[in-house]
Homo-oligomer: A and B are copies of this chain.
Amino acid sequence: MNRDVTTGPAIVPGSTFGSVFAGLKPHMGALDEFLREQISAFEPEIREMADYCIDTSGKRIRPALVFLSGWQPDGQPPRNLVRAAAVVELVHLATLVHDDIMDEADLRRNRETAARKYGPAAAVLLGDALFSHALHLAAQFPTTEVCETVSESTRKVCAGEIVQTMRRGSTRVSREDYWRIIDLKTAELFRVSCFLGARLSGAADAYVQAVATFGRHLGIAYQIYDDLADFYGDEQRIGKTLGTDLASGKLTLPLLVLLEKLPAAERLALSEEICGQRAGQMALRLRQMAENGVFDAVESAVEREIEAAEAALASWAAEAPTSLLRQLSEVLRAQLGALQKRS
Encode contact with B along A124-138: 1 for CB under 8 Å, 0 otherwise: 111111011101101
A147/B154 in contact, CB under 8 A: no
| Closest Cβ–Cβ distance, residue A251 to chain B (whole Å) | 16
| Closest Cβ–Cβ distance, residue A172 to chain B (whole Å) | 14
A140 CB within 8 Å of chain B: yes
Encode contact with B along A115-156: 1 for CB under 8 Å, 0 otherwise: 000111110111111011101101111111001100110111
A121/B143 in contact, CB under 8 A: no
| Closest Cβ–Cβ distance, residue A328 to chain B (whole Å) | 27
B132/A166 in contact, CB under 8 A: no
When C-beta atoms are compared, the residue in chain B nearest to A101 turns out to be: B124
When C-beta atoms are compared, the residue in chain B nearest to A124 turns out to be: B98
Contacts A129-B162, A147-B147 given; indicate if A155 touches B42 (C-beta within 8 A).
Answer: yes
Which single member of B42, B141, B184 contacts A159 (CB below 8 Å)? B42
| Closest Cβ–Cβ distance, residue A141 to chain B (whole Å) | 7
A159/B98 in contact, CB under 8 A: no
Interface positions of A (Cβ within 8 A of B)? 42-43, 45-46, 49, 94-95, 98, 101-102, 118-122, 124-129, 131-133, 135-136, 138-144, 147-148, 151-152, 154-156, 158-163, 165-166, 184
Number of copies: 2
B133/A155 in contact, CB under 8 A: yes
| Closest Cβ–Cβ distance, residue A196 to chain B (whole Å) | 14
Contacts A138-B147, A144-B143, A147-B147 given; indicate if A159 touches B43 (C-beta within 8 A).
Answer: yes
When C-beta atoms are compared, the residue in chain B nearest to A134 turns out to be: B151
When C-beta atoms are compared, the residue in chain B nearest to A103 turns out to be: B121
| Closest Cβ–Cβ distance, residue A128 to chain B (whole Å) | 4
Contacts A45-B163, A144-B141, A159-B46 given; indicate if A151 touches B135 (C-beta within 8 A).
Answer: yes
B43/A156 in contact, CB under 8 A: yes
B126/A155 in contact, CB under 8 A: no
When C-beta atoms are compared, the residue in chain B nearest to A43 turns out to be: B159
Which single member of B98, B128, B161 contacts A158 (CB below 8 Å)? B128
